A and B are shown apart, each in its own frame.
Chain A
Amino acid sequence: MRDNSTVAVHDPALLHHFAEPQQQRDAASLGMWVFLATEVMFFGGLFCAYLVYRRWYFGDFAAASKSINMWLGATNTAVLICSSLTVVLAVWAAQTARRTLLIGSLVLTMLLGFAFLGIKGIEYRDKFVEHHVPGASFSFEHEEIPGHPGQYANPQHAQIFFSLYFVMTGLHALHMIIGLGIFLWLLIMAWKGRFTPEWHTPIEIGGLYWHFVDIVWIYLFPLLYLIDRHK
């Protein structure tokens, strides 16, 4: 029977309440997956609201969607996909003790994350200038509903689109910022040489979080940017 009171050969990273490093790793991994399940439900409420109103106000939503920049959205999608690649490369680098690749991948991931936020900032600024930010100065007059020439979108319904746009992408951006914070910390730890092939759990679970944020965007892009683009 394991006797936990001896100090013996004992991994310095092993926390006292775990019996073995594998148990600790499995607990961390399960913990992050369960947390991501809660995040699915957190964003899920917003997707539910989106679904209800898109059905009700499809034409108005299409008109509003047309006014946001599809190419910036697509670029951002590609940026995040690249960042997911750099994240898996970082994990692989940690698994195979490739320090330079590890640090390089972490730095690249962060740069791509900042690029994403920068492009998002440009989009938000465009919306601000066009008075598409919900609130007192919102204006969406004389915008044609795609495919229905002469019919104009209801500004109030368009405002609902933009409300959901800002809340959903804003919440997503907030998660990106938190992700950047996490990766900064991972970078510092990697720089100090804390990660080994035997122990690099923070990179793995940080990676899981980052991929999740990518997946949310993978859905946000077509739903927000690509409504009735063919009309």
Chain B
Amino acid sequence: MSAHSTSSPLKMYFAVFAALLVGTALTVFAARLDLGPFNAPVALGIATVKATLVALFFMHVWHASEKLTKLVVISALFFFLLLLGLTMSDYATRLWS
């Protein structure tokens, strides 16, 4: 693990923690508003921001000493999105003809 100074991480951890709780509250609040077609994207968007914060700062991907960690994360996401995307290429187009 790369060495980082021992005092600054605490501030960062608590800041991320606060952001995560705010994000959760925001998600619930936004869910009860009528945003038309944007309810789902907003909810997922906030979730993605929260997940990114956890990955970057709690899981230390931001400070990762090697690009390999980031490559593993991106690869996993890529193949996950591939599974969803290409499957939807069937379901989303079944009624076209």
Could you tell me which A residues sit within 8 Å of B by CB distance? 25-26, 29-30, 33-34, 36-37, 40-41, 44-45, 47-48, 51-52, 55-56, 70, 74, 77-78, 81-82, 84-85, 87-89, 92, 95-96, 204, 207-208, 211-212, 214-215, 218-219, 221-223, 226, 228-231
Contacts and interface: CB of A to CB of B under 8 A. Distances in A.
Contact of A89 (B13, B43, B54, B69): B13
Contacts of A207: 58-59
Contacts of B77: 40
A222 B80 contact: no
B59 A208 contact: yes
A55 B95 CA distance: 13
A109 to B, nearest CB: 12
Contacts, number: 121
Interface of B: 1, 6, 9-10, 13-14, 17, 20-21, 24, 27-28, 31-35, 39, 43-44, 46-47, 50-51, 54-55, 58-59, 66, 68-69, 72-73, 75-77, 79-80, 83-84, 87-88, 91-92
A84 B13 CA distance: 10
Given A92-B13, A96-B6, A221 B54 contact: no
B54 A215 contact: yes
A37 B72 contact: yes
16 contacts: A29-B1, A30-B72, A36-B76, A41-B76, A51-B87, A51-B88, A78-B24, A81-B17, A84-B17, A211-B55, A215-B51, A219-B47, A221-B47, A222-B31, A226-B39, A226-B43
